[in-house]
């Protein structure tokens, strides 16, 4: 396709990082594709104009013409007609692309609400109720069905953040007290990385999330599993972990549905073991990393709102990590 040719020709360096879960150059849906086309046309057009202007400037410097041949025509043509025609055409094209990006093609979109916090993402499915009747609430991860447009309503709880999944769609600012919307479309199944794209404090760089695009039937299975409360502990170690978690007061900030933990200040941990990463893309999701996070969250991600718990004994710490990781 011409896109491939443009990439190979004009953006050889960038092509090296074209692949990967967070690349605007490797779209996985039609909205990201439209944005890539727009980008390539603007870059290519800008490149042609730049080269032309440099050639004229070079001619003026090297040849030092007494009088530039046909200068009046150049001034009117190059200084007025060309920019007015070109910029108007580009503007019309850009408006058309922007319209296309917010068009769901008559399909009822899946609604997801995402709130930015320093420095994690709360994700709510307002039309999905968990067992018990509340709205489904997860963290740092969106799971969406392939092919169906998703309307993401974004806002922020503290400072301005920005929601961006380059492989799936455009970027949208998250502003406290205000709701913005964007449409994501995932057509290829896979896991794509999103990243906060507006500087929001010390840990801005460690504010990432995953978007998992699943075939529609797998998505329904995931929803059904996610709506269930946390499983009962499978053994004595998991039970000890749950008790230690509740004793340490973790439930005043975190919810684990099916236990007495019902805090709302931090991420919902009901199915935390099923996520790909911990602490908004900061750590791999393993019992060892989770134990390290609980003991030293302030060392790993200074100034985040999760305190370090160095006073937890090794056994308790390990048991809590094992229990939480069993919640898939």
Find the DSSP H helices in 12-29. 12-15
Between 31 and 304, name the residue whose CB sits nearer to ligand CUA.
304
Please identify, using beta-carbon distances, which residue of 198 and 214 lies nearer to ligand CUA.
198
Contact residues for ligand CUA (CB under 6 A)?
A: 116, 119, 161, 196, 198-200, 204, 207
Smaller CB distance to ligand CUA: residue 194 or 241?
194
The CA angle 219-293-316, to the nearest 5 degrees, is 100
| Cα 33 to Cα 25: distance, rounded to the nearest angstrom | 8
Residue 45, C-beta contacts closer than 8 angstroms, at least 6 positions apart? 86, 90
Measured CA to CA in angstroms, residue 87 lies from 42, 234, 253 at distances of 11, 65, 52
In the complex, the smallest distance separating the C-beta of residue 154 from ligand CUA, rounded to whole angstroms, is 11
Minimum CB distance to ligand CUA, residue 136 (Å): 23
Residue 172: CB minimum distance to ligand CUA, A: 13
CB-nearer residue toward ligand CUA: 116 or 266: 116
CA angle (188 as vertex; 140, 1 as ends), nearest 5: 130
Instruction: Give the contacts of 283 (CB within 8 A, at least 6 positions apart).
Output: 277, 289, 290, 292, 293, 300
Minimum CB separation from ligand CUA for residue 118, in Å? 7
Q: How many angstroms separate the CA atoms of 247 and 245, rounded? A: 6
Question: Considering beta carbons, is residue 114 or 143 the nearer one to ligand CUA?
Answer: 114
Min dist. Cβ of residue 84 to ligand CUA (A): 38
Closest distance to ligand CUA from the beta carbon of 281 (Å): 12
Q: Choose between 208 and 230: whose C-beta lies nearer to ligand CUA.
A: 208
Round to whole Å and give the CA distance between 165 and 184: 9
Residue 145 CA to residue 37 CA, distance in Å, equals 24
């Amino acid at each position: 396709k011409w896109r491939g040719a443009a990439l190979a020709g004009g953006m050889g360096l960038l092509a090296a990082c074209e692949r990967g879960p967070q690349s605007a150059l490797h779209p996985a849906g039609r909205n990201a594709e439209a944005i890539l086309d727009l980008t390539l046309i603007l870059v290519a057009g800008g490149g042609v104009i730049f080269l032309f202007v440099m050639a004229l400037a070079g001619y003026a410097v090297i040849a030092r013409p007494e009088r530039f041949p046909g200068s009046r025509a150049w001034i009117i043509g190059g200084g007025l007609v060309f920019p007015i025609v070109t910029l108007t055409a580009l503007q019309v094209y850009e408006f058309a692309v922007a319209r296309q990006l917010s068009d769901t093609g008559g399909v009822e979109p899946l609604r997801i609400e995402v709130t930015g916090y320093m420095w994690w993402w709360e994700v709510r499915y307002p039309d999905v109720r968990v067992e018990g009747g509340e709205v489904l609430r997860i963290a740092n991860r969106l799971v969406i069905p392939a092919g169906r447009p998703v309307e993401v309503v974004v806002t922020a709880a503290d400072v301005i953040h920005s929601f961006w999944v380059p492989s799936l769609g455009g970027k949208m600012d998250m502003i406290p007290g205000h709701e913005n919307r964007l449409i994501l479309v995932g057509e290829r199944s896979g896991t794509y990385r999103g990243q906060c794209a507006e500087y929001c404090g010390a840990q801005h760089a460690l504010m990432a999330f995953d978007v998992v695009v699943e075939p529609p039937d797998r998505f329904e299975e995931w929803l059904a599993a996610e709506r269930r409360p946390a499983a009962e502990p499978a053994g004595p170690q998991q039970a000890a972990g749950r008790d230690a978690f509740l004793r340490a007061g973790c439930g005043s900030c975190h919810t684990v549905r099916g236990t007495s933990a019902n805090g709302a200040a931090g991420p919902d941990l009901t199915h935390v073991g099923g996520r790909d990463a911990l602490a908004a893309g900061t750590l791999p999701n393993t019992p060892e990393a989770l134990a390290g996070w609980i003991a030293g969250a302030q060392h790993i991600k200074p100034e985040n709102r999760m305190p370090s718990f160095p006073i937890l004994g090794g056994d308790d710490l390990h048991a809590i990590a094992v229990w939480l990781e069993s919640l898939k």
